[in-house]
Structure 1
Amino acid sequence: MTLPHPSRFASSAFLLLGVLFIAISLRSPITGVGPLLDAIRVELHLSPTQAGMLTTLPLLAFAFFSPIASKLGRKHGLEQALMLSLLFIVSGLVVRSLGSASALFIGTVIIGAGIAFANVLLPSLMKRDFPTKIATMTSMYVLMMGAGSAMSASLAIPLTDMAKLLSIEVIPSWAFSLASLVIFPLIAILLWLPQMRKHTAPSKDTQALDSHSYLWCNGSAWQITLFLALNSFLMYIFISWLPTILVDHGFSHREAGVIHGILQLFTAVPALVLIPFMNKFNDKRLLSFGLTLMALIGILGLILKPELAMVWGMLFGFGAGGGFIVALALISLRTSCAQQAATLSGMAQFLGYLLAATGPMIIGELHEQTASWQLPLIVCAICAVLWSVFALFAAKDQLIEPAAHNSNTTLEQNLS
């Protein structure tokens, strides 16, 4: 048996570690905010709606900066473009932690832009460099995203307490907690430096896409898009507001942070369970519906038995995380070619992040108007029911036909 050359093995190891630490850096800067929302609101005198914007702004950045990412990749190569994304994330984390309201929002936008670049370019990198291990790499990638989310959410309050214990007064204690998250992208930068010797373009799927504009008038495409969009809508509501909801139900800030972290961790668990067995589910409607039902039970449980929030957080996290994986898989499974899949992915993620961006603001406004979490959670439950319905339509075992076969089919006909 021929052993790999040491230098080639080292290069592959740095590439793999670099990808995994980039993945950790793509959610931790966002989920670390949730447990600190109350402290941030009090110190900076923010309304609940303004506080909700802290999660909304990255999502808007995901939607609007994504088209720029592929251009950066084509012009500068994947390696340089991904390094730029990490530099954006680091810069945003520093600016966000300066302690003022304006710096908080500006830094959040910068972070969102950096994450948007990596969101678009990393799948192309994995397809190019790990063509025979895409399922394994996707599993590891999603798992590391979930691990980063869980760590940032769970450590948010302890890091705040550490800042108080150390009498750090240069920046607020919540800002120290947020600034500490810079360790993840900094490690990613160090691990990514060996890749900077390369200057390679994205895969052909990312470089040049045929126009599949007919998808915007295709019912099946809209079903998949709404399935992903409602998933993101609910997920980012809970990322933003779950700690505050739990504190208002009598949990301590530390307990709320831990439960929030467990929810984040359970969004990653389906990556270990579902992806290796995805092909064994010929009809994915039952799988999709089951995952959405788990999330719905988690929401209803939080309404009816909030004292069991840990259990409901696990159920919701597993359902939402699994639903996200299935949604991404359906984009590939239900399209007839790579270009059609890429166009549908762009459509679904653009609209999905736009809808998700409204979630924290809507729920924050409802809570502000009613001074209760009952109505906001009931709205989430209704959305989960709609999500379950779209799961049955989106997961049909049927390819989306090219425009030549459905050019005379209207959106209304496709939806029926």
Structure 2
Amino acid sequence: MSTDQKKKYLLILVIILISLNLRPSLTAVGPLVTEIRMSTGLSNSLIGLLTTLPVLAFGIFSVLTPLFTRKMGTEGTMAFALSILTIGIFLRVIPAHLALFGGTLILGIGIALGNVLLPGIVKKQFPQKAGLMTGIYSSMLGVGATIASGVSIPLSEGAGLGWRWTLASWGILSALAFFAWLPQLKVNMPVIMRKSFRSSLRDLGTSALAWHIAVFVGLQSLTFYTLTAWLPEILIDRGMTPSHAGWMLSIMHGVGVLGTFAIPPMASKKTNQQTLVFWIAFFEMVSIIGLVFQSSILFVAIWSAILGFCLGGSFGLALFFILLRSRDSDSANELSGMSQSIGYTIAAVGPVLFGAFFDLTQNWTVPLLFLFLVAFIKLWSGWKAGKNEFV
């Protein structure tokens, strides 16, 4: 094996490690909602803000990522992202509302930068294996989410860590990713863009295809983060134990890994991806209706699994759209920033709006029907984004 091949394999391992860190600090919150609310006295809407704040950071800082890469380079910006992710995670140990929400916002900025940089790194380093690499790193995002949601209750209650130290424990993994990434700084250079930042935004803003991708990214993320925050609470309210409710979320995330890994390579073999979009959205709507009418553990597990596969598949497809619809790594970074910025701004309203619907109606049917409507609109935007065109 040549030295270059060894470096490529090491880079793949580091990308996997980074991917594992971009979801746990968010998905670990859902199973702990009841414990956090009892400990802090926060309302449902403010609890929803713990999931919404990072998504708001995604919306604001995703589009600003090219400004960071021009100053610090792609590799330098990734190191910065991992460092503030770690800082934000550990800040939430401090027993104060300001530290809880401030740390959540800071870690959200770190995740936002990492989210945007990964597609460009993949397109630059693995141009011939973009579909496979997208499947690998996006599925690792799901693995991290699954593990975090599944072990939150056991760590908090079983191991006696409490919810603060349970959330903080993920800072160890993000610190490891930071140090693993440092060797990449040897090849770090500021990114020189062919167009000004304002010109790039203006060009993307006039592209209908870019907007369809952004809406698809946003609606997929809205459903994902909403259910990450609220699915355990819905199931607990219907009589399920907190542990079982946490594992239902783990099932959703775990099967989602399969969808995230399987769909991008499948999509890369098709001239357009419209048929894939249709079936993903269709089964997502079916599973949401299933959650409205079923509360037994068996049926909830089935619907959670189907929903997880659809959400994971649409997430992998959303990321792959960024690569498919851009011509090179620079344009991939620009499209990634624009689509994730707009997309996550859309997604940010999900957890808070979902909680507000429950506060107004005192039942979970209306909030779940809201997600059904979101899936229907996602079908439309994904159908447009699935056309074989370039931005």
Of 132, 154, 158, which residue of structure 2 is paired with 1:158?
154
Q: 1:31 aligns with which of 27, 30, 40?
A: 27
- State the SS of the aligned residue for 2:200: coil
Match in the other structure for 1:105: 101
- Of 88-97 and 391-400, deviating more is 391-400
RMSD after superposition: 2.5
CA distance in 1, matches of 2:157, 2:224: 27
Q: CA deviation at 1:205?
A: 8.0
Q: Which residue of 1 aligns with 2:317?
A: 326
Question: Which one of 63, 70, 77 corresponds to residue 74 of structure 1?
Answer: 70
Percent identity reads 33
Aligned residue number for residue 54 of structure 1: 50
**Hey, what does 1:4 align to over in structure 2?**
2
The Cα shift of 1:28 comes to: 1.0
How many angstroms apart in 1 are the aligned matches of 2:341 and 2:289?
Answer: 29
**Following the alignment from structure 1 to structure 2, what is the Cα–Cα distance between the partners of residues 341 and 125?**
9
1:394 to 372, 380, 385: 385
Contact 2:259–2:313 (CA<8 Å) still a contact in 1? yes
Q: CA deviation at 1:180?
A: 1.3
Task: Find the partner of 2:188 among 186, 199, 211.
Answer: 199
What's the CA shift for 1:76? Answer: 2.4
Residue range with higher mean Cα deviation, 112-121 or 125-134 = 125-134
TM-score (norm 2): 0.91
Amino acid at match of 2:338: M
Query: 1:206 and 1:160, CA in 2 relative to 1: closer, same or farther beyond 3 A?
Result: farther
Superposed displacement of residue 379, structure 1: 1.4
SS in 2 for 1:133: helix
Distance change >3 Å, CA 42–CA 48, structure 1 → 2: same
- Tell me the distance in 2 between the aligned counterparts of 1:61 and 1:242: 23
Q: What is the aligned counterpart of 2:82 among 39, 64, 86?
A: 86
Could you tell me whether the CA contact under 8 Å between 2:322 and 2:335 is conserved in 1?
Answer: yes
**CA contact under 8 A between 2:30 and 2:231: conserved in structure 1?**
yes
Given that 1:70 and 1:207 are in contact with CA atoms closer than 8 Å, whether structure 2 keeps it comes out as no
**Which residue is 2:300 aligned to?**
309
When residues 289 and 19 of structure 1 are mapped into structure 2, their CA distance, relative to the original with a 3 A threshold, is same
TM-score, structure 1 length as denominator?
0.86
Deviation at 1:178, TM superposition (A): 0.7
Q: Corresponding residue for 1:148?
A: 144
Aligned residues: 389
1:266 equivalent in alignment to 2:255? yes
1:372 to 341, 363, 366: 363
Q: Is the 8 A contact 1:82 1:117 kept in 2?
A: yes
User: CA offsets, 1:218-277, max 9 Å, x none?
Assistant: 544433332222212111111111111111111111111111112112222123322222
8 Å CA contact retained: 1:128, 1:203: no
Q: Which runs of 5 or more residues in structure 1 are unaligned?
A: 401-416
Whether the 8 Å contact between 1:121 and 1:202 is mirrored in structure 2 is no
Query: What displacement does 1:198 show?
Result: 3.5
| 2:182 aligned partner, one-letter code | L
Asked which structure has the greater CA Rg, the reply is: 1
Distance 1:340 1:113, change over 3 A: closer
- Which one of 189, 198, 205 corresponds to residue 216 of structure 1? 205
Matches within 5 A, 1:339-358: 342-358=333-349
Contact 2:123 2:329 in 1 (8 A): no
* Partners of 1:127 and 1:203 within 8 A in 2: no
Structure 1 residue 311, shift from structure 2 partner: 1.0
- Map 1:220-231 to 2 at 5 A: 220-231=209-220
Q: Pick closer, same or farther for the CA change 1:367–1:19 going to 2, 3 Å.
A: same
Amino acid of the structure 2 residue aligned with 1:240: A
Partner AA of 2:356 in structure 1: E
Aligned to 1:186: 175
Instruction: Name the SS for the 2:128 alignment partner.
Output: coil
Contact 1:92 1:109 in 2 (8 A): yes
1:276 alignment counterpart: 265
Q: Specify whether residues 200 and 340 from structure 1 end up closer, same or farther in structure 2 by C-alpha distance, changes over 3 A only.
A: closer
Q: In 1, distance between residues paired with 2:121 and 2:334? A: 18
Matched residue type, 1:71? L
Q: 2:39 aligns with which of 21, 29, 43?
A: 43
1:244 paired to 2:254? no
Output the CA distance in 2 between the equivalents of 1:262 and 1:184. 22
Judged with a 3 Å threshold, the aligned counterparts in structure 2 of structure 1 residues 11 and 64 are, in CA distance, closer, same or farther, namely same
Aligned counterparts of 2:169 and 2:110: Cα–Cα separation in 1? 18
Deviation at 1:188, TM superposition (A): 0.9
CA deviation after TM superposition for structure 1 residue 364, in Å:
0.6
Distance between the aligned counterparts of 2:31 and 2:13, measured in 1?
28
* Aligned equivalent of 1:381: 372
**AA at the equivalent of 2:31:** P
Contact 2:78 2:113 in 1 (8 A): yes
In structure 2, how many angstroms separate the alpha carbons of the residues matched to 1:18 and 1:337?
Answer: 22
Residue 114 of structure 2: which of 104, 115, 118 is its match? Answer: 118
- Write the letter of the residue equivalent to 1:158: P
